[in-house]
A and B are shown apart, each in its own frame.
Chain A
Amino acid sequence: MPKDHGIGASTKRREDVRFLTGDGHYTDDINLHGQAYVHFLRSDVAHGRLVSVETEEAAKMPGVLRIFTGKDFEAVGSIPCGWLITSRDGQPMQEPPHPVLAQGKVRHVGDPIAAVVAETYEQARDAAEAIMVEIEDLPAVIDMKQALAEGATKVHDDLKDNLCYDWGFVEENREAVDKAIKEAHHVTTLELRNQRLVANPMEPRVAVGDYARHNDESTLYTTSQNPHVIRLLMGAFVLGIPEHKLRVAAPDVGGGFGSKIFHYAEEAFCTFAAKQLRRPVKWTSSRAEAFISDAQGRDHVTKIELALDKDNNFTALRTETYANMGAYLSTFSTSVPTWLHGTLMAGNYKTPLIYVNVKAVFTNTVPVDAYRGAGRPEATYQLERVIDKAARELGVDPLALRRQNFVTEFPYATPVAVEYDTGDYNATLDKLEEIADLKGFEARRKESEAKGKLRGLGVNCYIEACGIAPSNLVGQLGARAGLYESATVRVNATGGLVVMTGSHSHGQGHETTFPQVIADMIGIDANMVEIEHGDTANTPMGMGTYGSRSIAVGGSAMVRAAEKVIAKAKKIAAHMMEASEGDIELKDGQFTVAGTDKSLAWGDVTLAAYVPHNYPLEELEPGLEETAFYDPSNFTYPAGAYACEVEVDPETGKVTVERFAAADDFGNVINPMIVEGQVHGGIAQGVGQALLESCVYDETGQLLTGTYMDYAMPRAGDLPSYVVDHSCRTPCTHNPLGVKGCGEAGAIASPPTVVNAVIDALQSGGHKVDHIDMPVSPARVWQAMQ
């Protein structure tokens, strides 16, 4: 087995050849014969009653095929929400309808009012300008606390109020937590905001709908992280198309970060209109449109209280969070502030009592849903910021305070419903101290001071729940889906393999890492294995990629299918070599019979499977192809420790990240280079959130940060070279590869690391600043110093 191809090898990404040479095949590269183009006329006000939408004149304009409005979708279903949350009082969440095109009211800037389909994109746009829309303005509901105030304008007239749910977790612990906090030796309180972000994948969303009259089949090509989920949601709930008449394909996808998980109105529209018009219909989002139509991320306002005893042991934790849902419930929006957030509040610590309260609120803003980390960054940020503050208040070393409270025995059942199977938090923190050279910090601080700069050190520990998720558990928690993954392993006659995975790659590198695993199992070159994904026509029902689940769940399904293939191949080999099945071994691509010198090559056996002349046909079917579905028995729990050193320019407030180190425990690692790449990207996004990014609406609901002129993205020059390490490994105990997932760690762990460092720097300069909300921009830092 060539070592540079199997598990543990830093094999270069084979997909990069096409991506870097311009040969990627993205949804926008799909152009079908007779294709028409749609342009959506979107609301430019945040909240208003639709008095009239006059399309008559516009419909006569050159090239226009048809103009659709909300009326055309009255008989069509509502875009569904995938997770039911139950409030503290036992009532189900308030769940408003979400029409494909606005009906009656517009509820955020960007809400689609009409859709013009024309021969060309420019014609569609021209005609959209000729549509006369009359809107009676309503007061915009933007601030969450005001949205919940008595008498506030309602975003959805048919709901009781703007409260989606009021969730308590674990409700039975509430009194005990209140009591523990009341009687605590010390309580540290912090109020903070985890600001709203725009995902900004490099490739904006695209949808192409197509309809084949000869077999009544609809096809949707779309920029999705999970085409099967889109097929199910759109087919069953919105358009009423059975799955055998609907194909959803997501070819190369240029990044998602969560924003391409969800089922969007534009997808349903293109599929619907293609059938109506008997023409393929294409929509390509502009960047400006992405800012007002892609689901956004985060947007939590939280108060957190940490109680400690006289020996600095954490005794209780209480949080109250307001979570912005935006105007409609996007696919997984309701689960993010609850089950993906509340269950993580224990962090790496053995706090015995925890209570989390979350109020989800409707506002006249773009819907909010999962964004890289989804709920876990919000949990980690609060917890790691409040611990840092507690250490400062108590005058203890922040690392020592963390170590003292670490969970050290596994499995560990947290008071927030999850059980950590394995981990070693002291090991990653030890590793961090070494790779970040924490001992050298004081000397570096002096150097910075000599230059007139304030230097700060921020340290932070994190844990996340990945490998989403055991279906029976999430079903009890309200998920309207299972969260298994699937794979079909097809062996061709000449020995090459195709793996059809329900997992989806949009930057993660599946096409490289998945073959590494198969190569290792069989002992063949990884280049003999091809990965297919992203098309419901040729992959088994799968749940897609998010929540760092691909290798942990999708990889496990592939291993199970490959095991079945190998078991069958051994049977064939046993027959061919006239040996007993139990004596057959497979190593380096050769089948051998234990204790003899008999052997057969992998290719001899695969050929026999398809040319079954000498074959046990009475006992065994010909062919070599197996499918497996894998449902994990638990989440996986990657964890680690991060450190960051910043310099603050006291004259301008500008923060520069000088050093950054990450020590992660991802369990076993398939391809170290790809893992490091995932961590690098995650850190860039995390530092971006900490220092730069912020999605801001004014009080009338206009988006103030609707272009890159005002929405600040991180760039290479904003980041130092990182030191990343993943040598601390406690393999996951319940999946066959012992892997945990690495896609979100950087984005989860970085924001508190950076903010802790900035606060440390300011304190070192004598500024009594306990907290600055993200993004920690120069203007905010300077303000805090005044």
Chain B
Amino acid sequence: MYAFEFERPGSLDAAVKALQEEDAQALGGGQTLIPTLKQRLAMPSKLVSLKGIAELQGIAQEGDVLKVGGGSTHGAVARETKGIFAGLSLMASKIGDPAVRNRGTMGGSLANNDPAACYPAALMATRGTVVTNTREIAAEEYFQGLFTTALEEGEIITSIRFPLPEKSNYQKFEQPASRFPLVGVFVAKYGDRVGVGVTGASEDGVFAWKEAEEALAGNFAPEAVDDLWVSAEGMMSDLHGTAEYRAHLVKVMTKRAVAAAE
């Protein structure tokens, strides 16, 4: 690790200010950033911890929307959304291990936008909104490829807003080593539409499988996607799975998520 300064502001305003310093960086749960620092792959001048900011905490239902504070840990999400948003609760409960879940935050995960992160699939399927200290960003504008988002320098995710579905589920097919998704599919069913968010698979990061969304909107049953297929073109290919395998898994996981949706 290179040396850095550390600040733990008590309010959003103070955090925004602290982040104006050149090379200052926000620290959420540190579950991605700290390992990066240990490997000397990042060299921030200052870490601004978001853990002490009340505005980033809290998970609450507001009408037909679930609002999750950007600083909410995966553990809190898993526990507190259980009866409200089954798919999200299930997703959060399967991220990493208890230590990761008790530190890592939804804001940190979405800001990092790892192509194999789980939450992007939920945000994409629900067409949710990322709320920051300055604006609101719709899911489709927010994700801009691997590890890239619409966030500006120093912008802080304060909350995430998910339109609550009638039914939802997440199917995570684990990469054998990291246990991140090799392919993860989130399905959210609403009265008039269905969202299908796919993570882990594409070279461009999370995406909505639009053909499946259409087919499922007409018939929310696993068979509805039987005649669809995902092209292997543009899928990631690595030690743990070829592009063809990933493309195949997208369909299998989608069907399973539909079957399991509650």
Chain A residues in the interface with B (C-beta under 8 A): 122, 125, 288, 651-652, 654, 691-692, 694, 696, 704-705, 708-713, 775, 777-779, 782-783
Contact = CB atoms under 8 A, between A and B. Distances in A.
B245 A692 contact: no
Nearest to A777: B176
Contact of A651 (B1, B3, B242, B252): B252
B241 interface: yes
A779 B241 contact: yes
B240 interface: yes
Contacts of A696: 239
A696 B1 CA distance: 27
A692 B242 CA distance: 17
B260 to A, nearest CB: 14
Given A704-B239, A779-B241, A652 B173 contact: yes
B229 to A, nearest CB: 14
Given A708-B177, A710-B177, 17 more contacts: A122-B1, A652-B252, A694-B239, A696-B239, A705-B177, A709-B177, A709-B178, A709-B180, A710-B178, A710-B239, A710-B240, A713-B177, A777-B176, A777-B240, A779-B240, A783-B242, A783-B245
Nearest to B246: A779
A779 B242 contact: yes
B249 A711 contact: no
A471 to B, nearest CB: 42
Interface in B97-137: none
Contacts of B178: 708-710
B248 interface: yes
A692 B239 CA distance: 12
Interface string B229-262: 0000000000111100100110010000000000
B206 to A, nearest CB: 19
A125 B1 CA distance: 9
B222 to A, nearest CB: 11
Contacts of A713: 177
A782 B249 CA distance: 10
The 9 closest A-B pairs by CB, nearest first: A712-B177, A712-B176, A779-B241, A709-B178, A651-B252, A710-B177, A779-B245, A692-B176, A711-B177
B176 A778 contact: yes
Contacts of A125: 40
A696 B252 CA distance: 28
For A704, A705, A779, the residue with the greatest tally of chain B CB atoms inside 10 Å of its CB is A779
A707 to B, nearest CB: 8
Contacts of A708: 177-178
15 contacts: A122-B3, A125-B40, A288-B39, A651-B252, A652-B173, A696-B239, A708-B177, A710-B177, A710-B240, A778-B173, A778-B176, A778-B182, A778-B241, A782-B248, A783-B245
Interface in B36-55: 39-40
B245 A782 contact: yes
Which range holds the interface residue count of chain B? 10 to 19
A484 to B, nearest CB: 41
Contacts of B39: 288
Interface of B: 1, 3, 39-40, 173, 176-178, 180, 182, 239-242, 245, 248-249, 252
A709 B177 CA distance: 5
A704 B240 CA distance: 11
A711 B239 CA distance: 10
A336 B228 CA distance: 52
A692 B1 CA distance: 31
B177 A652 contact: no
A772 B245 CA distance: 17
Contacts of A692: 176-177
A708 B39 CA distance: 14
A704 B245 CA distance: 20
Interface centre among A122, A696, A709 (most CB of B within 10 A): A709
A307 B180 CA distance: 46
Contacts of A288: 39
Contacts of B40: 125
Contacts of A709: 177-178, 180
Of the listed residues B3, B173, B239, the one surrounded by the most CB atoms of chain A closer than 10 A to its CB is B239
Nearest to B248: A782
B1 A652 contact: no
A692 B182 CA distance: 14
A705 B249 CA distance: 23
Contacts of A705: 177, 239
A166 B125 CA distance: 59
Contacts of B177: 692, 705, 708-713
A652 B242 CA distance: 13
A652 B249 contact: yes
A704 B242 CA distance: 15
A3 B245 CA distance: 58
Nearest to B177: A712
Chain B CB count within 10 A is highest, among A652, A692, A694, for: A652
B170 to A, nearest CB: 16
B235 to A, nearest CB: 13
Contacts of B239: 694, 696, 704-705, 710
Contacts of A651: 252
A708 B178 CA distance: 6
A125 B173 CA distance: 39
A285 B240 CA distance: 27
A652 B173 CA distance: 9
Contacts of A691: 176
A709 B241 CA distance: 14
Contacts of B180: 709
A461 to B, nearest CB: 28
A245 B187 CA distance: 70
Nearest to B241: A779
A709 B178 CA distance: 4
B110 to A, nearest CB: 20
A761 to B, nearest CB: 18
Nearest to A718: B176
Nearest to A125: B40
A694 B176 CA distance: 11
A716 to B, nearest CB: 11
A122 B37 CA distance: 13
B240 to A, nearest CB: 6
B247 to A, nearest CB: 12
A777 B240 CA distance: 8
Contacts of B182: 778
A288 to B, nearest CB: 7
B48 to A, nearest CB: 22
A189 B1 CA distance: 53
Contacts of A704: 239
B61 to A, nearest CB: 33
Nearest to A775: B176
Nearest to A715: B179
Nearest to A717: B179
Select the residue from B3, B40, B176 with max chain A CB neighbours within 10 A. B176
B85 to A, nearest CB: 25
Nearest to A710: B177
Nearest to B1: A122
Contacts of A777: 176, 240
Nearest to B255: A651
A202 to B, nearest CB: 16
A287 to B, nearest CB: 10
A445 B249 CA distance: 25
Contacts of A712: 176-177
A778 B176 CA distance: 9
B248 to A, nearest CB: 7
Contacts of B249: 652
Contacts of B252: 651-652
B179 to A, nearest CB: 8
A288 B240 CA distance: 20
A783 to B, nearest CB: 7
Nearest to B97: A715
A125 B248 CA distance: 45
Nearest to A653: B245
B115 to A, nearest CB: 13
A494 to B, nearest CB: 48
